[in-house]
Every structure is written in C-alpha cells, then in structure tokens.
C-alpha cells in the first residue's frame, strides 16, 4: 500500500506561489487579448465585406479544430525564432512566456469570437436600424450601440471561458514554463512525491475554479433581475 | 423635398413595392395607411435607405438615396425616424439617448448637445425623466423620447413608422399630441399610421397602399369624403366603423 507523505508541500509553497502568479498573469493577458481580437474577428465575420468575413470564419474554424497543446507547441517552436529576428534579441533571452502568451491569445480569440458573435446577434435588428437612422456609420453603430449591449449580455459566458482558459494554462508545461502545474510537477518529481503534489495541484485548481464559477452564477442571477 | 419615382422592391419572388411614385413638399404632412403587409412601412424605410430597392429613384433634398456614391449616414442624419418599437438604446440614460448622435454624428460639443437635449425633452414633457433609463419609462414616454432623439439632429423631415401601434390605448394620445404640435410647427412629415383621427386633424394628403401599390394619393378631405377606389372605401369602412 502506497504511503501518502505530504511533507514536501509546505516548504515548496513559495515556489508553487511563483508558478501560480505566472498562471494568473498568463490567464489575464490571454483573456484580455483574446476578447479584443475575438471581438474584432466577430465584427469581421458579421461585416458586409466578404473577404473579411471569409478570413474570420476560416480563422475560427482552424483554431477550433486543432488541439491547444499543438498550437502551444507550434508557437513555442516558431515565435522565439520570429521574435529574435524581428526584435534582434540575443539567443539567451527567454521567449517562452511571450510565445505561450501569443499562442493562448490567438487560440482563445477563436472561442471568444464565437461568444461575441452570439452577443452581437442577441442585439435586436431594430437597434441597428435606429442607430443607422441617426446617421451613425457601421463603426459607430458597433461602438456605441451594439457592442455595449453585446458585452453586457455575454459577461457570464466571457467569465466562464476565462475559467476554462485558466485551467488550460496548465498545458504550458509542454514548453517547460514554470506555471503552477509545472512547478508542482517539478517538486513532486524532485522529492519522489508526484502523486501527492498532483493531488494537491488538482485540489487547488478545483477550489479556485469552483469558487469562480459559483461567483459567476451568483453574478448572473443578479444581473438577470 | 422628397420625390419617390417608380420605386419597386422584391424579396425574392415576393413583390413588396411595385411602381410607387409620390412627391412630398416642404411642410407637408402625409399619412400613409393601408392593410398590414401592404408595403407602407417598407416604403418609408426606403426613403432613408434602411431598406434597399431594386428599381426607381428616391431623391431627398437633392440627394438620390439609391445612388452608390451617396453618403447614406450623412443623408440619414438629415432625416429623422421614429419606430414602432421605439428602439431607444437601453444601456444609456434618456439624456444620453437624445445626445449621442448630436455629439458623435453632428460633432456638437457636449455642453451644446446637453442644452439642446434638455430643451427637446422639455418640449415633449419629459425633462424630469432625463436621468432615467428607457426601461423605467412607460411606452408612451419612451416614444416621446424617441421623437426628441430624432428632432435633436434638426432634421429636414420626419418619418414615422406606426409610432402608436405598440402602445397601450391610454398612451396613444400623449404621443399623437406631440406629433400634432410638430405638424403645426411646420415639420415635413411622412407618417405610417392607422390613426385616422390624426390624419383628419393634421394631414394634408393621405396615401392609401394595398399589395405594394399606391392605390390612392389624395387631398385629405377628398380621401375621407369620397375615396375613389373600392379598396380604399372598404378599408375606411372597416376601420372607421368603431
């Protein structure tokens, strides 16, 4: 029978905390970038300009049809080269964080774009007519009338997607980045206590995400009134 | 001011408008009526380009609506429109609803726009509601805000698309009163409505439409006195009997 031994966790907490900070940073930046780029994609997809609509539709289908791990690996392999060439960085600069950020943002934008597209379509046609009748251009109609209402309608879904994204950040272990999960794995590996550390990491993810989902549900009920 | 010449529109096989022509002079008030599905709403939405049409021409204040080179937003800013379902922006206060296009479309300063908005809200009797959201107002109040919002751009004419059809009966008059006042002030108006009392009171001409055609286009007194077409007679006998 396997004997559980949790003693390596307390000493590793500062190291695990550092990983958690990186995971949260990654989540926040990818959520922000994903929402901005996703919103632009949604607008392109719904715009009357055919080439933009086709591009956005293709982009979304592509990223929704490949596993996130693979996207992260591609960017892990491509982005460092690119950044070094473009910015003239030395070979010792650590670009793993940047490449993970780019990979996540581009990938999540595909999901956020679908959420925003639904949000934009949830705003009635009459609102668009009213804005047009007041002389607003397509861009002004989007900016002042449609998007504020679309965001408000979609806040719960956007937050839920952010919780999923937070869990997905654990996949950056493929690029040996020191996120929370990666650090937990490393401590467990070092001390021969992998089972305990992975159980602990899982419990932390569960508590955080469950609490966040609960908060979103409460928020949803409040704005529904 | 508005000239509609031989306008036709199809949705696929369905002919919504066929060969509609009329003229609206400055200061004229014209009521457009007819059974539902007769194309009257579609016709006035063609006037500010909200609905495209395939044939014919509409010229508003010297600008052809259907021409590809026409700057539609600029044209629409000169033509006020009021919708059946008000379409106020629910995320803005009443004051912001009336002010937004003044600032973003006409590029008025914030202070000037605010002063103008408050004045218009006073005109429709709602200055006290300026800081509420549309959801807190009754239907009649919302429609009066919508009229103020359209007037805020100093339009050269106003289009009304069944402005009282979505209202509870007790609120219809407060909206019609505002419209009557507007007509008396000399505004050019094209009004789709079933309110024949309003038509009798202020309309110069009445246009009767059926199945996408302008069946009758007559002086108000002539229309109510002796409608020429059988379809208009039938329509009038149906809606005036109660």
ipTM: 0.91
Cβ separation B91–A137 shorter than 8 A = no
Are β-strands B55-60 and B63-64 bridged in parallel, bridged antiparallel, or unpaired? antiparallel
Q: How far is CA B42 from the centre of its chain?
A: 11
CB pairs under 8 A between A and B: 61
User: In the numeric block, which tokens belong to residue B194?
Assistant: 């079933």
pLDDT of B29 > 90? The answer is yes
Query: What pTM was estimated for this model as a whole?
Result: 0.86
- What is the distance between the alpha carbons of residues A20 and A182, in angstroms, rounded to a whole number? 10
Residue of chain B whose Cα is closest to the Cα of A148: B91
Report the phi/psi class of residue B89: left, alpha or beta, with left for phi > 0 and alpha for psi in -120 to 50.
beta
User: In the numeric block, which tokens belong to residue B39?
Assistant: 């194309």
Least Cα distance to B153 among B81, B117, B102 occurs for B102
Q: How far is A138 from chain B (nearest CA, A)?
A: 9
pLDDT of A2 > 80? The answer is no
> Can you give the residue ranges of every domain in chain A?
9-223
Q: Touching check for B68 and chain A: CB below 8 Å?
A: no
Option in A126, A127, A144 nearest B100 (CB): A144
Residue A93 — pLDDT band, cuts 50, 70, 90?
low
Least Cα distance to B29 among B235, B173, B147, B192 occurs for B192
> Looking up tokens 């199809």, which residue turns up?
B10
Positions of E strands within B12-67:
14-24, 29-33, 55-60, 63-64
pLDDT at residue number A89: 67
What value, to the nearest 5°, has the Cα angle with vertex A189 and ends A184 and A194? 70
pLDDT tens, position by position, B186-208: 999 999 999 999 999 999 999 99
Mean pLDDT on B86-112: 95
Q: Which helix (H) or strand (E) holds B143?
A: helix B139-151
Residue A158 — pLDDT band, cuts 50, 70, 90?
very high
pLDDT at residue number B203: 93
Q: How far is A139 from chain B (nearest CA, A)?
A: 11
Q: How far is B52 from chain A (nearest CA, A)?
A: 13
Q: Touching check for B154 and chain A: CB below 8 Å?
A: no
Cβ separation A134–B149 shorter than 8 A = yes
pLDDT of A153 > 60? The answer is yes
Cβ separation B89–A132 shorter than 8 A = no
Between residues B176 and A177, the one the model is more confident about: B176
Residue of chain A whose Cα is closest to the Cα of B101: A134
Mean pLDDT on A117-131: 94
Least Cα distance to B225 among B192, B191, B200 occurs for B200
Q: Touching check for B184 and chain A: CB below 8 Å?
A: no
Domain A9-223: CATH class, spelled out: mainly alpha
pLDDT of A220 > 70? The answer is yes
- What is the distance between the alpha carbons of residues B67 and A80, in angstroms, rounded to a whole number? 52
Q: Which residues of A touch B76 (CB under 8 A)?
A: 132-135
> Looking up tokens 């979609």, which residue turns up?
A154
SS3 label, residue B28: coil
Mean pLDDT of chain A: 89
- What is the distance between the alpha carbons of residues A59 and A157, in angstroms, rounded to a whole number? 21
pLDDT at residue number B241: 63
pLDDT of A171 > 70? The answer is yes
pLDDT at residue number B242: 57
Cβ separation B79–A140 shorter than 8 A = no
Q: How far is B223 from chain A (nearest CA, A)?
A: 31
């Amino acid at each position: 029978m396997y004997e559980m031994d949790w003693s390596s966790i307390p000493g590793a907490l500062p190291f695990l905390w550092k990983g958690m900070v990186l995971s949260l940073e990654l989540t926040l930046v990818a959520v922000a970038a994903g929402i901005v780029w996703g919103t632009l994609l949604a607008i392109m997809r719904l715009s009357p300009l055919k080439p933009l609509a086709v591009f956005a539709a293709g982009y979304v289908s592509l990223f929704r049809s490949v596993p996130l791990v693979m996207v992260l690996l591609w960017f892990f392999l491509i982005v460092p080269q690119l950044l070094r060439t473009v910015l003239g960085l030395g070979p010792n600069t650590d670009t793993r964080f940047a490449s993970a950020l780019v990979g996540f943002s581009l990938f999540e934008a595909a999901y956020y774009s679908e959420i925003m597209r639904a949000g934009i379509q949830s705003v009635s046609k009459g609102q668009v007519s009213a804005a047009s009748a007041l002389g607003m251009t397509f861009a002004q109609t989007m900016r002042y009338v449609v998007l504020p209402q679309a965001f408000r309608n979609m806040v719960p879904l956007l937050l839920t997607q952010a919780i999923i994204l937070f869990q997905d950040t654990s996949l950056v272990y493929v690029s040996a980045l020191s996120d929370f999960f990666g650090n937990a794995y490393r401590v467990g590996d070092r001390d021969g206590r992998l089972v305990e550390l992975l159980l602990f990491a899982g419990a932390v993810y569960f508590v955080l995400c469950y609490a966040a989902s609960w908060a979103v549900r409460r928020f949803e009920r409040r704005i529904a009134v | 001011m508005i000239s509609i010449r031989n306008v036709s529109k199809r949705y696929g096989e369905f002919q919504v408008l066929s060969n509609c022509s009329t003229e609206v002079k400055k200061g004229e008030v014209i009521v457009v009526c007819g059974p539902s599905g007769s194309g009257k709403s579609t016709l006035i939405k063609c006037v500010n380009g909200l609905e495209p049409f395939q044939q014919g021409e509409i010229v508003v204040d010297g600008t052809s609506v259907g021409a590809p080179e026409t700057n539609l937003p600029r044209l629409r800013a000169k033509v006020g429109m009021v919708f059946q379902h008000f379409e106020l922006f629910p995320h803005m206060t009443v004051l912001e609803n009336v002010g937004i296009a003044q600032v973003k479309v006409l590029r008025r300063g914030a202070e000037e726009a605010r002063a103008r908005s408050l004045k218009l809200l006073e005109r429709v009797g709602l200055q006290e509601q300026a800081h509420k959201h549309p959801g807190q107002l009754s239907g009649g109040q919302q429609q009066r805000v919508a009229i103020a919002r359209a007037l805020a751009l100093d339009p050269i004419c106003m289009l009304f698309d069944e402005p009282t059809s979505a209202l509870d009966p007790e609120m219809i008059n407060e909206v019609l009163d505002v419209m009557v006042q507007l007509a008396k002030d000399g505004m050019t108006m094209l009004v789709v409505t079933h309110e024949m009392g309003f038509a009798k009171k202020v309309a110069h001409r009445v246009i009767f439409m059926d199945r996408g055609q302008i069946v009758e286009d007559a002086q108000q007194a002539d229309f109510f006195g002796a409608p020429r077409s059988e379809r208009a007679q039938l329509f009038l006998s149906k809606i005036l009997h109660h």
